[in-house]
Amino acid sequence: MPFAKFQRFVFLGDSNADTGNLLRLTNGVYPDPMVYHQGRYCSDLIWADQLVRCLDIPSFNDAYGRATIDSEMADSTFTMGGVDIQIPSVATQAARMADLSSGDLVFVQVGSNDLNALIGSSVTRVVGNPYTMQELADRLLEIVEAICEKARHIVVMNVRPREDYPAVLQRNDPEVVEKSKRDTREFNAAVADGIKALNKKLGEGYRLSVFDTYGFQKRISEDCATCGIDPDVQTPCISVSPDDGAAVLTNPESKLFYDTAHLAKRPQALLKEAMLDHITHHHIG
């Protein structure tokens, strides 16, 4: 099998790639295990789980829900029992990967929480002066280049269209929606340009690619019938019962969003398939 060239898949990032790390960090408290599947921000296995399972490749996942690119730019904590628990940023995650090697394929999925901090967030805050999208992208690219001291294959997943997140739309503020759209596109463009330049700088022997998660979500949300997705793409699967405040799940098999920010079961499966194609075209051969 062509994928056998990789000895391990390594996942760094935020809640979009977290397979239970934040749940363990918070001693089983968050995300709510009654609603989220074994620490995944979904009702089932996410794309990262599915990718590893279908290829039967060893893996290591150090992604954490609420993670940012660098805690010195945007910081995220979880308060439990009056104590703030620091969420490891991708800078921290990457720095502690001492055993990376040329046989690893590293996936980096991060940036959404950093952008969320710029529109006001209860869980993520800007540290110091607000950063530009170029500054944020530059910091991510520095981390990617540091990873390349040992690894040779890296997939950077850009940020999904935040302007379509129910969490953003529910603010009912056109300026916030427009800022989310503008920031996401500017950040993604800066990352794409930076990865292209970094590939040129590093030369042969390295393969760095950008997976267009933004375009992926746009495509499946605009072609719901073909993709098997509920056409109501703005209403998440999870809602709250007016009677007792309990979580109610509606169409968990076909919704685009599971909660107000994360992809549901069907999109996760589609993302896995899209990632398989991406790896085949950009990292094999």
| pLDDT score recorded for residue 80 | 84
Mean pLDDT to the nearest integer, 110-116:
98
Q: Is the pLDDT of residue 3 over 90?
A: no
Top CATH class of 8-222+273-284 equals alpha beta
Q: Is the pLDDT of residue 217 over 90?
A: yes
| pLDDT score recorded for residue 78 | 86
- The most distant pair of C-alpha atoms in the chain lies apart, rounded to whole Å, by 61
| pLDDT score recorded for residue 2 | 82
- 204 Cβ neighbours under 8 A, 6+ residues apart: none
The Cα–Cα gap between 177 and 183 comes to 10
Q: List the chain domain ranges.
A: 8-222+273-284
Mean pLDDT to the nearest integer, 168-181:
97
Burial class (CB in 10 A: 0-12, 13-18, 19+), 282: middle
Output the CA–CA distances (angstroms, integers) from residue 108 to 53, 81, 159, 248, 267, in the order listed: 19, 31, 11, 32, 19
Mean pLDDT to the nearest integer, 143-155:
98
